Structure 1
Amino acid sequence: MKSNISLVAFLTSLFLITGCTPSNSLKTNETKKEHVISKVDEKVLKMVDSEEQFSYLTNLSEEELKSYKQFAEEYDTKYLKVFSPENILLIYIHSAVIDDIEAIYALAYMEGESLEFDNFKDKYYKHLNISNMEIALDFRYYDSIQVKQEESNGLFVELLVTYGRFTATTLMELKKENDIWKVVLPNLFNK
């Protein structure tokens, strides 16, 4: 009888220990998760409240904006002769964001090939549209843009963005054509 009481007491205490511990632990974890989620929500709300309308053209001077608007109306690159390679790249990315295929066509350096616009458009949407949109989204709040490497026939522009401890960069090649910097499109595009 004494062993039965001891066994019942042991099983009861074991049941209480195992039965209560997970739920207490679960409640503690849920409280921690709710606290973390509320902190994240608070940070997101602060970001949304302080967010300004983003544009890749924000850093263009007034004169450059006027030239860009003329370019966007006529798609004549003569208006972009004084633009730095960095600003040409920003205009190119901006054009991808707003899906201005005519501007992209005008800013594309195609290694001496002359593609008719309709052919260019088909190839662009087939091979480059998605990757250009990913670049536009990934580097939306870029931290810096600078010429990274110059070569005799062109240069590379680096776009850099930092998200907390994560840093991402992309290099895009530009070459001059008729004294205007143009974005070199990947070889895949020319196939």
Structure 2
Amino acid sequence: MNEEIKFLLDATKESMDGAITHLEKAFMKIRAGKASPAMLSSVMVDYYGSPTPLSQVANVNTPDGRTISVQPWEKNMLQEIEKAIMNANLGFNPMNNGDFVIINVPPLTEERRRELAKQAKAEAEDAKVSIRTARQDANKEIRDLDASEDLQKNAEVDIQELTDKYTKKIDAFLVVKEAEIMKI
């Protein structure tokens, strides 16, 4: 196989892997009934003037399936952490007991479960769009290469196979996430 085509296939595969990785991160932020430290992964705390991820200024734990506890490494950060969680607009109401910030995760209603399932579908569709875009870019680059028509056709078939493989992966992730969200 032509060296340029092999490089192009590798780059396309890497781009598609990136779409899958992004989807996995997006799915981690969609809560599915029980408390998880990943729910607070997007929270940025004002740490002496610079925005810092919550995980770098505090220890985030889940003592049980309905509670998240945040223990700051510096006591004076309690109010900042509480404010950052409120500003992140995650729908949580943090409580400060002087040592920890405690968040009670309310159980999901049926309506909220459906909304989260829709959100998961939208994230999966975005990932599929990224994969199709990678396929289009690769096919365009193949047509621009100075290779024989047979090599170009074979490379396009390989790229389509990659696209199908990654689309199936996304569908499988979505089925698992929807089941997780809808499980009471």
Q: Shorter-chain TM-score: what band? A: under 0.3
As a proportion of its length, which structure holds more strand?
1
Higher relative contact order at CA 8 Å, sep ≥6: structure 1 or structure 2?
2
Higher CA-based Rg? 1
Normalization by structure 1: what TM-score?
A: 0.24
Normalization by structure 2: what TM-score?
A: 0.24
